[in-house]
Each structure stands twice: as structure tokens, then as C-alpha cells.
């Protein structure tokens, strides 16, 4: 049992490793992964494993391996304003990362079978909104979660631009999943032990691409033994934002533009030299492994191998870098939340300031 990329010491290092192995390939996906700390979605006693490229399961709570989520995010080709449906939304980790890209005018829905996992996801979402400074760097499409079996979605539900299913889909359910898509939409799901991307190119036209060999726990079939009737899952309606909410989005956007202009004016080109601090070098290495996890298996990519000579050169180069950075090997100052500072400095009543900050804690 192992991971497709090396373990990281923190969330940023995990993302560095995923980029190095080409699982994260676009800036939007990288920003979303860096904004949300994977460890925040673990129970406290299991956080030591949060930055390993492994799946995690405890009771009904489940997180896929980071490299799987990376491939899913890249395959979905997310853009602001799209609608997204997450089947088997679990902890809400993926839905929250998607929400950072969709922005305030997107739609972000999730269906989860287990009610206790829904409560867990809502707690984690609330924690992210109220405590994370990363939240203020984005305009967020907040996920809405409903309890139910994703194979019993009401036939009159709206169709979506993007759909992901986080459980193994059998061939007999392929058309059911496809019908959840708008024309031009993208569906990503484990189908017959392959992570599969399906694009709807017309009312009855599809393009299919196999991404990665995987093995997910299969979808749980509906159980009608108790009542004999189907329990239809009704997804949240696509709500129109209130005028008050639109005003908050506009004000926050204006303040961000002012902060950007002030930074440009102060620093000329707006670029600062990043603080220097030591980060462990990620070395390329040959990987030809198949990973066996609890209810989840995936084949790793084969990265560009390094010669043994190159490895020794890397070690020597790393030693030299460490010697060069010793005088300045201080930890960087914590990042400043300029949006929060600017809002709190405005001549406004406190309740309005707190509303603009989503009632967030410091």
C-alpha cells in the first residue's frame, strides 16, 4: 500500500508534490487546493495522515486520495458561473474546492446517503467560512447538501453543467448519470473500474475518455423493503440571490480592487519578493506502482525518472542551498488579510462590517 506522490509535511508541500507529478496542471485547480487545508476535514486523532497521498475512511466519513481529487478537478474543467452536482458529496471537501472556482453566481449541490456525514460536512463548511483567511481571496459558491440515495433523484430535477460521482457506477446506471447533464456538460465518474470523463456534445451524442484505473466502493442500491416505494431525492431549487447578498458581493469586489490598486501603486509593478524559507526539495523518481487502499485502488502515473547521478547532484545542490539560506532561515510572517483589515477600518456600523465579513471570526 502506498501513494502516487510523496507525503508532504503540510498542505502546501502536498500540493507541490501533486504538481511535480502532473496531477495538478492548471492554476485554478492549484489555487483551490492551496486554499483549503486537507487536514481540516480529518478527525483530530487522524490528522497526522492528512498530507499523505492516501484515501481515509472512518465509519461513514471518507476522503479519496489527493491524486484522485486532483484528476477529478482537472477533468471537470470548472469555470465561474457553472452548475455542479456532487453525487456522494461526503465531507464536502471537494464541493468546497469546486465552490471557490464557481464563484458567487454558480450552483453547487451535493447528495449524500448518510445523514451523519451531511452534518459533518456542514460543520466543516461552517469552519472554513468563519475561520479561513483563504475564504477572503475568493468569491465563494457555497455548497448545499441533501440526504438521499443519488440513484433516486427526482426525474424533474434540473440538469447540470458538471457532475461527479464518488462511488463506483455499474454499466446499467451509465445512462441515468448521463441524463443529469446539460448539453456541453461534463460527467466524471468511476465506471467499470476506470475514472471516466464523459462530455455531452449533443442531445444524444457523447464523447468518452478513460482517465485512470481505479476501484471505488460501488453505489448502494435503493432499498424499498420498508415501504415498497421509492424515496425521491429533491435537489435544492436554483435560488436567485437577494439584493442584500448581491450588494455584499459588489462591495467586497470593489474593496479588493482598491487593495490591488494600492498594492500596485506602492510596489510599482505590484510584485514583492517572496519571503525566503526552506522548503524540502521534491525529487523526481520512477513510479510504476499500483496502489491498494481500503475500497479504493489506483494506478500511479509514471514520472520522468532520474539517474542515480542526478540524485547525487540533487543532494549536493540541496546542501548548498541550505548553506546559502541559513542566515535567513526564519519563518515568514503570517499572511495579512488585507480585505478584513480594510473592512474593519471603514466608517460603518459594526453589524454591517461583520455582515461584509460573513460574520467570520478572526
Residue 86 sits in a domain whose CATH number is: 3.40.50.150
What pLDDT is stored for residue 292 in this prediction?
46
Residues 129 and 201 in one domain: yes
* 64 belongs to the catalytic site: yes
Residues 88 and 232 in one domain: yes
Residues 113 and 225 in one domain: yes
Cβ atoms of residues 23 and 71 within 8 Å: yes
Residues 228 and 257 in one domain: no
pLDDT at 176 exceeding the cut of 50: yes
Residues 75 and 216 in one domain: yes
Which set of grid coordinates corresponds to residue 285?
Answer: 523518481
Which set of grid coordinates corresponds to residue 85?
Answer: 452536482
118-122, 278-282, 337-341 — most confident range: 118-122
120-124, 134-138, 280-284 — most confident range: 120-124
pLDDT at 273 exceeding the cut of 70: no
Catalytic residue selected from 6, 64, 96, 134: 64
Three-state SS at 169: strand
What pLDDT is stored for residue 323 in this prediction?
60
**Span 18-40, mean pLDDT?**
96
Residues 139 and 249 in one domain: no
Residues 252 and 106 in one domain: no
Q: Is residue 268 part of a domain?
A: no
- Which residues, in sequence order, are bridge partners of residue 194? 191, 213
pLDDT digits 0-9 by tens, 240-271 = 889 999 999 999 999 999 999 998 888 765 44
State how far the Cα of 53 lies from the Cα of 49, in Å rounded to an integer. Answer: 9
Q: Total structural domains in the chain?
A: 2
Domain boundary among 208, 239, 270: 239
Selected residue with higher pLDDT from 265 and 4: 265
Q: Which of 128-142, 203-217, 309-323 has the lowest mean pLDDT?
A: 309-323
Q: Which of 84-98, 264-278, 298-312 has the lowest mean pLDDT?
A: 298-312
- Residue found under cell 447540470: 160
What pLDDT is stored for residue 296 in this prediction?
52
Q: Is residue 316 part of a domain?
A: no
Q: Is residue 233 part of a domain?
A: yes
pLDDT digits 0-9 by tens, 277-304 = 445 554 444 444 444 444 454 544 434 4
What pLDDT is stored for residue 233 in this prediction?
94
Q: H helices within 132-195, ranges in order?
A: 174-178
What pLDDT is stored for residue 300 in this prediction?
47
Which set of grid coordinates corresponds to residue 189?
Answer: 465518474
Q: Which residues of 223-235 are buried (b: 16+ CB within 10 A; e: fewer)?
A: eeeeeeeeeebeb
Cβ atoms of residues 4 and 65 within 8 Å: yes
Cβ atoms of residues 78 and 98 within 8 Å: yes
CB atoms within 10 A of CB 116: 12
State how far the Cα of 191 lies from the Cα of 75, in Å rounded to an integer. Answer: 15
- Residue found under cell 481500503: 294
Q: Rounded to 10 degrees, what is the CA torsion of 51, 53, 58, 63? A: 100
Q: Is residue 95 part of a domain?
A: yes
What pLDDT is stored for residue 8 in this prediction?
84
Identify the domain containing residue 250 by its residue range.
242-262+338-361
Give the phi and the psi of residue 122 in degrees, each rounded to 5.
Answer: -65, -40
What pLDDT is stored for residue 2 in this prediction?
37
Residues 156 and 176 in one domain: yes
State how far the Cα of 153 lies from the Cα of 177, in Å rounded to an integer. Answer: 10
**Span 229-250, mean pLDDT?**
89
Q: Is residue 60 part of a domain?
A: no
DSSP secondary structure string, 290-335? EEEETTEEEEPP-PPP--HHHHHHHHHHHHHHHHHHGGG-PPPPPP
What burial class does residue 266 get, using C-beta atoms within 10 Å of its C-beta: 0-12 exposed, 13-18 middle, 19+ buried? exposed
pLDDT digits 0-9 by tens, 179-190 = 999 999 999 999
- Cα 308-276-267 angle, rounded to 5 deg: 135
**Span 152-177, mean pLDDT?**
95
DSSP secondary structure string, 266-289? HHSSS--PPPP-------------
Residues 70 and 195 in one domain: yes
Q: Is residue 351 part of a domain?
A: yes
What pLDDT is stored for residue 228 in this prediction?
55
Three-state SS at 143: coil
DSSP secondary structure string, 177-201? HHTTEEEEEEEEEEETTEEEEEEEE
Selected residue with higher pLDDT from 135 and 299: 135
What burial class does residue 75 get, using C-beta atoms within 10 Å of its C-beta: 0-12 exposed, 13-18 middle, 19+ buried? buried
Residues 161 and 203 in one domain: yes
What pLDDT is stored for residue 159 in this prediction?
96
What is the percent of the chain where pLDDT is above 70? 78
Domain boundary among 189, 224, 239: 239
Selected residue with higher pLDDT from 334 and 110: 110
Which set of grid coordinates corresponds to residue 74?
Answer: 482537472
Q: Is residue 310 part of a domain?
A: no
Three-state SS at 7: coil
Domain boundary among 204, 239, 274: 239
Residues 98 and 228 in one domain: yes
**What is the pTM (predicted TM-score) of this model?**
0.81
pLDDT digits 0-9 by tens, 51-73 = 999 999 999 999 999 999 999 99
Q: Is residue 177 part of a domain?
A: yes
Which set of grid coordinates corresponds to residue 362?
Answer: 478572526
Please report which confidence band the pLDDT of residue 326 belongs to, taking 50, 70 and 90 as the band edges: low
Residues 253 and 176 in one domain: no
**Span 18-43, mean pLDDT?**
96
What pLDDT is stored for residue 288 in this prediction?
43
Average pLDDT, the chain: 85
Amino acid at each position: 500500500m502506498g501513494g502516487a506522490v510523496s507525503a508532504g509535511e503540510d498542505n502546501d508541500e502536498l500540493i507541490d508534490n501533486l504538481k511535480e507529478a502532473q496531477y495538478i496542471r492548471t492554476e485554478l485547480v492549484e489555487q483551490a487546493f492551496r486554499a483549503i487545508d486537507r487536514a481540516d476535514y480529518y478527525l483530530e486523532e487522524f490528522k497526522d495522515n492528512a498530507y499523505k497521498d492516501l484515501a481515509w475512511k472512518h465509519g461513514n466519513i471518507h476522503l479519496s486520495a489527493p491524486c484522485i481529487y486532483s484528476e477529478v478537478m482537472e477533468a471537470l474543467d470548472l469555470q465561474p458561473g457553472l452548475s455542479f452536482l456532487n453525487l456522494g458529496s461526503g465531507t464536502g471537501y471537494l464541493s468546497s474546492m469546486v465552490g471557490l472556482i464557481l464563484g458567487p453566481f454558480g450552483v453547487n449541490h451535493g447528495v449524500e446517503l448518510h445523514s451523519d456525514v451531511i452534518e459533518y460536512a456542514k460543520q466543516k463548511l461552517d469552519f472554513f467560512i468563519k475561520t479561513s483567511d483563504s475564504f477572503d481571496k475568493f468569491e465563494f459558491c457555497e455548497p448545499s447538501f441533501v440526504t438521499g440515495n443519488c440513484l433516486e433523484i427526482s426525474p424533474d430535477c434540473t440538469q447540470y453543467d458538471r457532475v461527479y460521482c464518488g462511488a463506483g457506477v455499474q454499466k446499467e446506471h451509465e445512462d441515468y448519470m448521463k441524463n443529469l447533464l446539460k448539453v456541453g456538460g461534463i460527467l466524471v465518474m468511476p465506471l467499470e473500474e476506470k475514472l471516466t470523463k464523459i462530455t455531452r456534445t449533443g442531445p444524444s451524442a457523447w464523447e468518452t475518455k478513460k482517465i485512470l484505473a481505479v476501484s471505488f466502493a460501488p453505489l448502494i442500491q435503493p432499498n424499498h423493503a420498508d415501504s415498497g416505494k421509492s424515496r425521491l431525492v429533491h435537489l435544492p431549487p436554483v435560488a436567485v440571490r437577494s439584493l442584500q447578498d448581491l450588494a455584499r458581493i459588489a462591495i467586497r469586489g470593489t474593496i479588493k480592487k482598491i487593495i490591488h490598486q494600492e498594492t500596485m501603486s506602492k510596489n510599482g509593478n505590484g510584485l514583492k519578493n517572496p519571503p525566503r524559507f526552506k522548503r524540502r526539495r521534491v525529487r523526481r523518481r520512477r513510479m510504476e506502482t499500483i496502489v491498494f487502499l481500503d475500497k479504493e485502488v489506483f494506478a500511479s502515473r509514471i514520472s520522468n525518472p532520474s539517474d542515480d547521478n542526478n540524485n547525487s547532484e540533487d543532494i549536493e545542490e540541496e546542501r548548498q542551498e541550505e548553506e546559502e539560506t541559513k542566515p535567513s532561515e526564519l519563518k515568514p510572517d503570517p499572511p495579512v488579510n488585507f480585505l478584513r483589515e480594510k473592512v474593519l477600518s471603514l466608517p460603518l456600523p459594526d453589524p454591517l462590517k461583520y455582515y461584509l465579513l460573513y460574520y467570520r471570526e478572526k
